[in-house]
Amino acid sequence: IGMAAGLAAGAGTATLIGAPRIARAAEFDFKYGNNLPLTHPLNVRSHEAAERIRRETNGRVDIQIFPNNQLGGDTDMLSQVRSGGITFFTPSALVIATLVPVAAINAVGFAFADYGQVWSAMDGKLGEHVRGAISKVGLHAFEKMWDNGFRQMTSGAKPIQSAADMDGLKIRVPVSPLSIAMFKSLSAAPASLQFSEVYSSLQTRIVDAQENPLPIIQVAKLYEVQKYCALSNHIWDGFWFIANGRAWRGLPPDLQKIVSTAINDAGVQQREDIKALNQSVQADLQSKGLTFNQPSPDSFRAKLRDSGFYGEWKGRFGDEAWALLEGAVGKLA
């Protein structure tokens, strides 16, 4: 009897599988690629947004997420989102600046004092200015930027106490002209590497140091290959949630509205996640062996000023963008 019941149950299942499928390919099948591990709030919240979009569009829009550089590094994903190979990508401002130079303006060294300044600028006129520039290269940027965080420096051989410790330091930076210029101005020896290569390049000592917000250091386990962390807060960095322009314009307005609302809402929640993480992440990293110090920003700022960094980047970004930045944070140079 047991066996017959088992067979019956099996037959029932087979019938169900053979029945006409209700699920079919969505009308709009989109791929979203990013560079972060699954456990980062950016992936947690974008997963929720994708579910919400599927539900609210009755399955017409299906977004499949490819985290952790599964589709290639930032440079690859940036060209894929331009060509339409993927529909969505979340590049850091530093990285999209290889295509849209003014997008790096939020990453000017030591510009933002706190998150109050960050969000009023990026949700206000400065963010609007950058989104306008992004649209000119045929990409759509959603209104709400997602948080990466204030970038901090980690090192392997010795702690970074002041700008003097940057001298000749082999430090990995993202693929970003501003990052390279800033660390050269600090007399370091920066190397641009894709995020997917950071762990191994520290492990094999191709570089001695790197710089990232604490939540990234945590989810990418960089504490396993670094000893010291200087709370330098040298750059505030965020992610632009962008879409291929053609795919975006091909979406009917009612679906655009559902997608925009879900993605922007998720971005605002993701900011809160990072804020909450910032309360606990240092203690966690300390317990995992990272030694922290908090250098004064003064020697770094002075070196950047004296080397002409601010003057040069004011010229590169242009007076309009620079005025918007200074309107948010005060005079820089």
- Answer yes or no whether residue 92 interacts with ligand X2X by CB under 6 A: yes
Instruction: Please provide residue 227's backbone torsions phi and psi, each rounded to the nearest 5 degrees.
Output: -110, -35
**Part of the chain binding ligand X2X (CB under 6 A), chosen from 5-13, 89-97, 261-269, 272-280:** 89-97
Q: State the DSSP code for 183.
A: H
- Answer yes or no whether residue 232 interacts with ligand X2X by CB under 6 A: no
| Nearest to ligand X2X of 53, 130 (CB atom) | 130
Query: Which residues from 33-52 bind ligand X2X, rule CB under 6 A?
Result: 35
CA distance 326 to 331: 5
- Total residues contacting ligand X2X by CB under 6 A comes to 9
CA angle (104 as vertex; 102, 110 as ends), nearest 5? 125
| Nearest to ligand X2X of 148, 270 (CB atom) | 148
**Part of the chain binding ligand X2X (CB under 6 A), chosen from 41-49, 55-63, 90-98, 183-191:** 90-98
What are the angstrom distances between the C-alpha of 169 and each of 85, 130, 196? 38, 32, 21
| Nearest to ligand X2X of 57, 210 (CB atom) | 210
- Answer yes or no whether residue 94 interacts with ligand X2X by CB under 6 A: yes
- Answer yes or no whether residue 150 interacts with ligand X2X by CB under 6 A: no
Q: Packing angle between helix 309-317 and helix 298-306, nearest 10 degrees?
A: 70
CA distance 153 to 162: 11
- Can you spell out the DSSP letters for 236-252? EEEE--EEEHHHHHTS-
| Tokens, residue 147 | 């948080």
What are the angstrom distances between the C-alpha of 32 and each of 80, 86, 143, 275, 317? 10, 6, 17, 24, 29
- Answer yes or no whether residue 216 interacts with ligand X2X by CB under 6 A: yes
| Nearest to ligand X2X of 28, 89 (CB atom) | 89
Burial of 200 (0-12, 13-18, 19+ CB in 10 A): exposed
| Tokens, residue 311 | 């003057």
CA distance 51 to 289: 37
Q: Which of 106, 212, 226, 260 binds ligand X2X (CB under 6 A)?
A: 212
Candidates 303, 254, 294; CA nearest to 56 is 254
**Part of the chain binding ligand X2X (CB under 6 A), chosen from 1-9, 62-70, 80-88, 92-100:** 92-100
| Nearest to ligand X2X of 195, 223 (CB atom) | 195
- Answer yes or no whether residue 68 interacts with ligand X2X by CB under 6 A: no
- Answer yes or no whether residue 295 interacts with ligand X2X by CB under 6 A: no
| Shortest distance (Å) from residue 198 CB to ligand X2X | 7
| Nearest to ligand X2X of 57, 218 (CB atom) | 218
Q: Which residues of 282-304 are buried (b: 16+ CB within 10 A; e: fewer)?
A: beebeeeebebeebebebbbebb
Site string for ligand X2X, 185-204 (x = CB under 6 A): ----------x---------
Q: Which of 41, 109, 127, 174 binds ligand X2X (CB under 6 A)?
A: 174
**Part of the chain binding ligand X2X (CB under 6 A), chosen from 87-95, 108-116, 135-143, 255-263:** 87-95
Candidates 261, 238, 270; CA nearest to 61 is 261
Query: Which residues from 130-149 bind ligand X2X, rule CB under 6 A?
Result: 148
Q: Which of 61, 95, 122, 290 binds ligand X2X (CB under 6 A)?
A: 95
The single-letter code of the amino acid at 2 is G
Q: Which residues bind ligand X2X (CB under 6 A)?
A: 35, 92, 94-95, 148, 174, 195, 212, 216
